[in-house]
Structure 1
């Protein structure tokens, strides 16, 4: 029998404890939430002396150092100790600044040719510096930076270094206009775009995809969104696109399309539900995961929508190339000339006029690029994700798994397992309580994530397994390929460790009993039972911790069961006024998949309160105050709790 019991108003404040809003509290029992929450803000890392409005960093996996660029400076930092090894001061002078803030906000840090290449806004007169190591005779070389760095850090820009050539997209005018993707510097010819190819673009990312067996067919892929030409008021103002150019492209002949890309093609990038014509059109961030076979290179794209949801769609470069190589050209109805427009040729200046003319006037493909899951995004969330990084992890059985790392606009990082066509949200880590992520890089070798905020740079150890509990079942249910169960507990993955990444099957833990545990590193079992002596007629509550937000929690009392009330990371059972039938034993039971365990046990006994005729009411009030936190009297709400059994105990 189901019964609704109304809890008095002073029990309602579990909705608002310590100033945390209801929307910040995930509801347990749903796999749409992170399974594990680490709510304590990670405080280690490098702290800026002054908060930065914009920061970038260069993190090289084969080096022990990283470079950080802020306002008027570049720092060389040891990645392990966060000790500043070297500092470069790159300030502007008042004479250089005609208007606006006289600051040099660093926007580009890249290894380019034989130096560290740095560009900044330089008081709205962009400059670049080649910074040489101390062993060189010269300390730096200054280069004009227009077209590489934006005039203001808030303007759209991107850059990419490929085999000694620098590709960039940055405005040519102070108002942010004349924005296009160019090969700007290096050994090859400078090449740029035709103005009519894109409409008010926002460039997101560029990536070089190698073809080891055919380097002349190497391509640069550009991901961006542009203004929608559909004037329907219900149409999204933005459409996401992918474009590509050939690395060997030197532009057209002297008489036609000189210094213009002859291989530029673009196609619509689709993320959504095609059968319902519902799309996420606003590309926000891209991570390209390269593979041995270029066709298997994956593009993880983060999209937002006009209805406050974000989505991740996954594409393969092979599928993208299929569109560029076989689709018809949008708006073009004549025979396709040979060589096919967009093909890579060693001498682009020798291409026939007919081929280059199609690229000039009809660069867009008719067909759209769909994700590998086609009918829907890989992952849809109400979280406002802003950055994405992806790592490839070898599990204990040597199988490979992809892990998505997504940053929210509230300073959190979600670790998401890609298993088949479905996401599994492993954990949430809180890195900052008051700022959003400015930049994020993955170190696949050290298995660390480096995250930049306005006030600091933080590092997450992706192999941190200590939050998954001290039993094999808890470790296996985490489905974290970075972690496995061994005789040392839940630790970073080793060959032969116990996992069940694909199936989340705790039956694999049966074999763990054959391995003697190293008890010196595993916490001793905790006595779950707590005894309370409580007077009659006073309110009382019981609490147990939530160690997995994918589990369902139930309070058991005798043969009766009642679902718990959630208060942040705790599960409550509320008793409005103690009666004789409320005394006895209580258990907080967690159930996840086929794994059930007691999280907490209580024994409530009756406390005899001495009363006199004049102080009876006074004593009961004091008794109530002793057992109910004062904060519970602060809200004037009534909570309806659905209970099960003949009566909620």
Structure 2
């Protein structure tokens, strides 16, 4: 179904958005970090870091000017890079270190640099100490941050260790996954082995998440998502870009890390939800944008974490035979199984991977790929966008628990400045239902969405682009009409009928079984105003014979299908109007071309969703003879 579309000017007028930062010369607001408890938002941009106090909208943002050294900018220009879009310090990484410091990294004009940002006091007065760059913490960002402001990468800081997937040289020809200690005197790190294409081959890193596997914290792993040119193809076969997931143990002081890989193709962005206690199943939501001569578009797939773990526990792949092809490995797997984290769960004598036998380490280096792929739930995407003037590039997932079921809201950022809000309703007896809620243009000029961060507590979405930063409310309930039925049929989980209007539903409240039940969406049982509007006011309209006429009808709910019925004369019944050469049922109404005398009658526009229908408008059309107009 088609979702309501709002342009940026309508958005500002609706009081559901606020422009936080704007830049005419393209500051590239690439990195966002939000702290809901202390109500601040940190923004990484070109040569700048901003700190906004969300509870004090009138307060001027705090700012740090952090440019690259002049000699490095000149060196970047001499290397043929663009002085405006590349030769500057683009802040790409903002990660919380503790309650007083944030770890930040920038491209440094193709010489990556990292440092700590000390947060100022929480005092509201103008004399409160502002945030500042801790200059004595400045150090090289190689292996932590990319050289290029445009290169995809990922970074995750946990317990003082930074897990990052990024390029490792100026040209961007080599990339690796690093684990670096960000505090202490020594700069120690471990990384994937160099010059090993069978480990990583032209990777583009997308995301990294710490996901618990069992009830033992020593089994915790960091999952890394990326896409790469697959090495499984034969020498003469066409190479494909595959989506991958790898994992490393989070236990410190390890000698090496095993990266198994599984997946499909074209990964663009990820959203991860691991509900409940440690070791719970959880899901992965992936945004994929395959590139081929046949298919051009974007898709969203949902994967089960249980299926991912099963693939890692399954058979390995390896090369054998006269043609050296990839096949399933059926030989003996050494103990402890590669990919196992050293912990008491498996063997109390194994305190770290330094205790692993050489046989295990050797097996890891030659069997990095798993044999079984991971397929999405239902073996198909939950959402596909093709033949549209944009591509999806950013993804955020907000999960809402409802009784024994859940409802996921996807926020999808496009390459032309739009944010799509899509609901995924999962029922126990049926598959996932996709509900298009709205489409919002957040930029005045088409430009890509660079980052998005969600604040469930504030019910706000922060969206950045090359030219601005916008604070966007999660709801615009007033657009859904003035009746309980309209509000209910919209199926927006952030809205509810409060007895008078379609109003925001506070997620902290206990959910009532009224219009928030987006899985049922039955106004007959959830509303008392379903009889309202059944006797729609009849409007008298005139049309001239052999001319065209248009009967307007707009449905409030984006899930509603409009149906037109007509009665020619008092004694005939209602019959449905079908699209043909003269009648066209459009989004905004009914178009009748070459009006004839027999077209006169009563036309009724009905809103239909599932088993519920009701009239929206009714017209009495009278046809004036052409001779009467001469």
Asked if TM exceeds 0.5, the reply is yes
1:430 aligned residue = 440
Structure 2 length-normalised TM: 0.79
1:14 aligned residue = none
**Structure 2 residue aligned with 1:201, among 203, 221, 224?**
203
1:478 aligned residue = 490
**Structure 2 residue aligned with 1:242, among 228, 240, 245?**
245
SS of structure 2 residue aligned to 1:388? strand
Q: CA deviation at 1:610?
A: 11
SS of structure 1 residue aligned to 2:591? strand
Q: Which has the larger radius of gyration?
A: 1
Q: Can you list the C-alpha shifts for 1:88-139, whole angstroms capped at 9, x where unaligned?
A: 1112343222123231111111212451222212221211221213458974
2:222 aligned residue = 220
Map residues 614-625 of structure 1 onto 2, 5 A cutoff: none
Contact 1:486 1:498 in 2 (8 A): no
Unpaired stretches in structure 2, ≥5 consecutive residues: 13-17, 122-128, 320-328, 343-350, 569-573
Change (3 A) 1:606 1:213: closer
Contact 2:314 2:370 in 1 (8 A): no
Contact 1:407 1:414 in 2 (8 A): no
Change (3 A) 1:144 1:380: same
Q: CA deviation at 1:372?
A: 3.5
**Structure 2 residue aligned with 1:269, among 251, 263, 269?**
263
Q: CA deviation at 1:399?
A: 4.8
Q: CA deviation at 1:529?
A: 4.0
2:382 aligned residue = 378
Q: CA deviation at 1:224?
A: 0.9
Q: Can you list the C-alpha shifts for 1:319-367, whole angstroms capped at 9, x where unaligned?
A: 3222223433534554211111121113221211011111112111122
Higher RCO, 1 vs 2 (CA within 8 Å, ≥6 residues apart): 1
1:287 aligned residue = 271
Contact 1:393 1:482 in 2 (8 A): no
Q: Can you list the C-alpha shifts for 1:162-214, whole angstroms capped at 9, x where unaligned?
A: 11211112222110033111112236952111132111111111111136831
SS of structure 1 residue aligned to 2:36? coil
Contact 1:555 1:588 in 2 (8 A): yes
Unpaired stretches in structure 1, ≥5 consecutive residues: 1-32, 253-260, 271-280, 518-523, 612-618, 621-649
1:61 aligns with 2:55: no
**Structure 1 residue aligned with 2:289, among 304, 311, 326?**
304
Contact 2:490 2:559 in 1 (8 A): no
**Structure 1 residue aligned with 2:64, among 88, 101, 105?**
88
Map residues 1-40 of structure 1 onto 2, 5 A cutoff: 33-38=1-6
SS of structure 1 residue aligned to 2:310? helix
SS of structure 2 residue aligned to 1:148? coil
CA distance in 1, matches of 2:3, 2:440: 14
Contact 1:59 1:67 in 2 (8 A): yes
Change (3 A) 1:354 1:560: closer
1:390 aligns with 2:409: no
1:76 aligns with 2:51: yes
Contact 1:160 1:167 in 2 (8 A): yes
CA distance in 1, matches of 2:134, 2:118: 6
CA distance in 1, matches of 2:48, 2:218: 39
Moved more, 585-594 or 86-95: 585-594
CA distance in 2, matches of 1:63, 1:212: 32
CA distance in 1, matches of 2:330, 2:175: 30
1:562 aligned residue = 577
CA distance in 2, matches of 1:419, 1:164: 38
SS of structure 2 residue aligned to 1:440? strand
Change (3 A) 1:368 1:539: closer
Contact 2:68 2:89 in 1 (8 A): yes
**Structure 1 residue aligned with 2:352, among 337, 347, 354?**
347
1:105 aligns with 2:90: yes
Map residues 450-529 of structure 1 onto 2, 5 A cutoff: 450-493=462-505, 495-499=511-515, 500-509=517-526, 528-529=537-538
1:322 aligned residue = 310
SS of structure 2 residue aligned to 1:323? helix
2:151 aligned residue = 155
SS of structure 2 residue aligned to 1:191? strand
Contact 1:54 1:153 in 2 (8 A): no
CA distance in 1, matches of 2:618, 2:566: 10
Contact 2:484 2:497 in 1 (8 A): yes
Contact 2:566 2:601 in 1 (8 A): no
1:118 aligns with 2:104: yes
CA distance in 2, matches of 1:369, 1:538: 59
Contact 2:64 2:132 in 1 (8 A): no
CA distance in 1, matches of 2:160, 2:561: 53
CA distance in 1, matches of 2:400, 2:22: 32
Q: Can you list the C-alpha shifts for 1:214-259, whole angstroms capped at 9, x where unaligned?
A: 111110001111112215777452111111000115343xxxxxxx
CA distance in 1, matches of 2:48, 2:281: 39
Change (3 A) 1:178 1:251: farther
Change (3 A) 1:198 1:603: same
2:11 aligned residue = 42
1:167 aligned residue = 163
Contact 1:158 1:168 in 2 (8 A): yes
Change (3 A) 1:525 1:370: closer
1:596 aligns with 2:613: yes
CA distance in 2, matches of 1:349, 1:65: 42
SS of structure 2 residue aligned to 1:545? coil
SS of structure 1 residue aligned to 2:103? strand
1:412 aligns with 2:416: no
Change (3 A) 1:478 1:154: same
Contact 1:589 1:600 in 2 (8 A): yes
1:30 aligned residue = none
Change (3 A) 1:146 1:467: same
Contact 2:47 2:67 in 1 (8 A): yes
Contact 1:58 1:67 in 2 (8 A): yes
Contact 2:489 2:560 in 1 (8 A): no
Q: CA deviation at 1:441?
A: 1.7
**Structure 2 residue aligned with 1:542, among 546, 551, 555?**
551
Q: How many residues align?
A: 551
Change (3 A) 1:296 1:444: farther
Q: Please provide the CA RMSD for this pair.
A: 3.2
